[in-house]
A and B are shown apart, each in its own frame.
Chain A
Amino acid sequence: MIRFDQVHKRYPNGRDALAGVSFTVEAGELAFLTGHSGAGKSSILKLIALIERPTRGQVVINNRNTATVKARGIPKFRQLIGVVFQDHKLLHDRPVAENVALPLIVSGVPRREIDKRMRAALDQVGLLGREKSRPLELSTGEQQRVGIARAIVAKPMLLIADEPTGNLDPELAFEIMQLFKRLNDVGVTVVVATHDIQLIDQFAAKRIVLAEGRVVLAEGAVV
């Protein structure tokens, strides 16, 4: 599903975020991307979502080399990936229903279909009935779950999450992580970037450990 091959990323300010990163995540796998902040976790997720492009090396997503995706093709490409952000990135002037439905609206799904799938996604994150609330009326954990509902509403094959539990207390963080695990159980490939080692120790999953822009450890799922 994901293959990084000797990927380098240097930002315009001269900082080398990734220095020759190689790893793979198979379809249907759950993978944790860990390491200290600044180790390159976010850069990897940005390269997957085509928010950034590699300076050197290849990023292959779903058998497609991202170098062949032109600027015009980026929207279609992103519609196949669900992204969860640490700061949720919700639209505060729109109700929950519209936030969750956004990926369906932008890809032109018919109205009736949108309603059904939006409710199904909210049900999966346990927020059915909160459609009319505004994001700011919800707790941080609930907002994060709205963000997850939005990421999965279009039924993507790949779900990536950047520090999704960063601002949550341990109990909520565990709940969120369980949610990712459940999604993975039904076949979605999930990549979660997090520095919370204690939390991910409780889950059997592949680990990719980064330090200073390099992969220092990659190990398969331990059951």
Chain B
Amino acid sequence: MKAGLQAWLARHAQTLLGSLGQIVRHPIAAAMTVAVIAVALALPLFFNVLLQNARAATANWNQAFELSVYLTQKAGVERAEALAKQLRGRPDVAAVRVITADQAFAEFRNSSGFGKALDALDANPLPNTLIVTPTLAASTPEATVALKTSIGAAADVDTVQLDTEWVQRLNAMLDVMRRVLWLTGGLLGLSVVLVVGNTIRLDILNRRDEIEVMKLVGATDGFARRPFLYSGVWYGLGGGIGAVLIVAIAVAVLSRPLGHLALLYGSPFHLAGLRFGSVARILGLSIALGWLGSWIAATRHIRAIEP
């Protein structure tokens, strides 16, 4: 039994290497197939890297929500300080910053460029404002909405604005992008199966005589199919490695300008590349797709070859 298993393993190892030899014998054709697979896999893989980076970046933003609390015009600075003190006592509030109407007006005057025009105003139209930062625990969408309602009910509060809405929109957009990624990934995966299938089909037609002879001396379809399945595995592995290389190069090329761009926005953002787990997954997937493509083609076409 043990010897039988050894013989079986030896036979498979031999076929595995033999099929690699067959591929190497036609280097240009093989390289074309591998390149097509690599490009087809690199596209969704690269978008996946970008999406993961975007998600990682917005995950940080999720925890940095602030609520802007605008008081009514008649509420003075004292009332603002009192309300701030009261809010600081809440368990779901981490910090409260008071921006008085005068401070806000001065800042607006400086940054808006309306300096002279603002002088024409009789009075400061801006209200006193509190910037409320919720605690980490209270940063979920539900908790922040509850906090917003609660603060909005307090006396002298005009409106409370949640700064999360655009982040939620961004998240929804990322969700859509993720769906698009799955769809295109699925289609490109299908194209890998078709490309490998077509290559194997041509391989089989080229080696028709050989398969015929093997069948004449008693080879089963499964036996005749085996080397082609291994070819499919090699094509898949080659394409997967190619895709990983393409994405690694793309990340390397984009990393510096993206970091520079982020720095201009005052963010320490850094483009993360492929992790070991993703590389292992993509190689596994590409091998599986190559195997599937060759299995479909080989099963169909080898059965059709009869001496």
CA distance A91 to B212 in the complex (A): 10
CB distance from B155 to the nearest CB of A (A): 87
Interface membership of chain B positions 132-168, coded 1 if the CB is closer than 8 angstroms to chain A and 0 otherwise: 0000000000000000000000000000000000000
Which chain A residues in 160-206 approach chain B with CB under 8 Å? none
Interface locus among B38-46, B114-122, B214-222, B269-277: B214-222
Q: Does B252 contact A (CB under 8 A)?
A: no
Nearest residue (CB) in A for B14 is: A111
Contact between B214 and A49, CB atoms less than 8 A apart: no
Q: Does A51 contact B (CB under 8 A)?
A: yes
Interface locus among B3-11, B71-79, B257-265, B279-287: B3-11
Known: A51-B307, A111-B10. A106 touches B217 (CB 8 A): yes
Nearest residue (CB) in B for A77 is: B218
Contact between B220 and A91, CB atoms less than 8 A apart: no
Q: Does A64 contact B (CB under 8 A)?
A: no
Contact between B7 and A102, CB atoms less than 8 A apart: no
CA distance A78 to B216 in the complex (A): 7
Contact between A108 and B217, CB atoms less than 8 A apart: no
Known: A51-B307, A111-B7. A106 touches B216 (CB 8 A): no
Known: A51-B307, A111-B7, A111-B10. A106 touches B218 (CB 8 A): yes
Cross-chain contact of B11 among A76, A102, A103, A108 (Cβ < 8 A): A108
Nearest residue (CB) in B for A85 is: B216
Q: Does A150 contact B (CB under 8 A)?
A: yes
Known: A51-B307, A108-B11, A111-B10. A75 touches B213 (CB 8 A): no
Q: Does A89 contact B (CB under 8 A)?
A: yes
Contact between B219 and A75, CB atoms less than 8 A apart: yes
Chain B neighbourhood of A106, CB < 8 A: 214, 217-220, 223
- Most A CB contacts (10 A, CB to CB) among B10, B210, B212 go to B210
Q: Does A107 contact B (CB under 8 A)?
A: yes
CA distance A78 to B217 in the complex (A): 6
Number of interface residues of A (CB under 8 A): 21
Interface membership of chain B positions 227-258, coded 1 if the CB is closer than 8 angstroms to chain A and 0 otherwise: 00000000000000000000000000000000
CA distance A83 to B218 in the complex (A): 10
Interface membership of chain A positions 33-63, coded 1 if the CB is closer than 8 angstroms to chain B and 0 otherwise: 0000000000000000101000000000000
Chain B neighbourhood of A51, CB < 8 A: 216, 306-307
CA distance A111 to B3 in the complex (A): 11
Chain B neighbourhood of A77, CB < 8 A: 218
Q: Does A79 contact B (CB under 8 A)?
A: yes
Chain B neighbourhood of A49, CB < 8 A: 216
Contact between B213 and A91, CB atoms less than 8 A apart: yes
CA distance A56 to B81 in the complex (A): 107
CA distance A76 to B217 in the complex (A): 9
Interface membership of chain A positions 70-103, coded 1 if the CB is closer than 8 angstroms to chain B and 0 otherwise: 0000011111000101000111000000000011
Number of interface residues of B (CB under 8 A): 19
Q: Does A14 contact B (CB under 8 A)?
A: no
CA distance A197 to B169 in the complex (A): 92
Cross-chain contact of B3 among A75, A76, A107, A110 (Cβ < 8 A): A110
Chain B neighbourhood of A111, CB < 8 A: 7, 10
Interface membership of chain A positions 104-135, coded 1 if the CB is closer than 8 angstroms to chain B and 0 otherwise: 00111011000000000000000000000000
- Most B CB contacts (10 A, CB to CB) among A76, A79, A90, A106 go to A106
Known: A75-B220, A110-B3, A111-B10. A102 touches B214 (CB 8 A): yes
Nearest residue (CB) in A for B4 is: A110
CB distance from A77 to the nearest CB of B (A): 8
Cross-chain contact of B218 among A76, A85, A89, A110 (Cβ < 8 A): A76
Chain B neighbourhood of A79, CB < 8 A: 217-218
CA distance A36 to B213 in the complex (A): 27
Known: A51-B307, A91-B210. A103 touches B10 (CB 8 A): no
CA distance A89 to B307 in the complex (A): 11
Pick the 10 closest A-B CB pairs, nearest first.
A79-B218, A106-B219, A78-B218, A103-B217, A75-B220, A75-B218, A110-B7, A89-B213, A51-B307, A102-B217
- Chosen A-B contacts, 22 in total, with CB atoms closer than 8 Å, are A49-B216, A75-B220, A75-B221, A75-B223, A76-B218, A79-B217, A83-B216, A83-B217, A85-B216, A89-B209, A91-B210, A102-B214, A102-B217, A103-B217, A103-B218, A106-B214, A106-B219, A108-B11, A110-B3, A110-B7, A111-B7, A154-B218
Given contacts A78-B217, A91-B210, A108-B11, 18 further A-B contacts (CB under 8 A): A51-B216, A51-B306, A75-B218, A75-B219, A75-B223, A77-B218, A78-B215, A79-B217, A83-B216, A89-B212, A106-B217, A106-B218, A106-B220, A107-B218, A108-B7, A110-B3, A110-B7, A150-B217
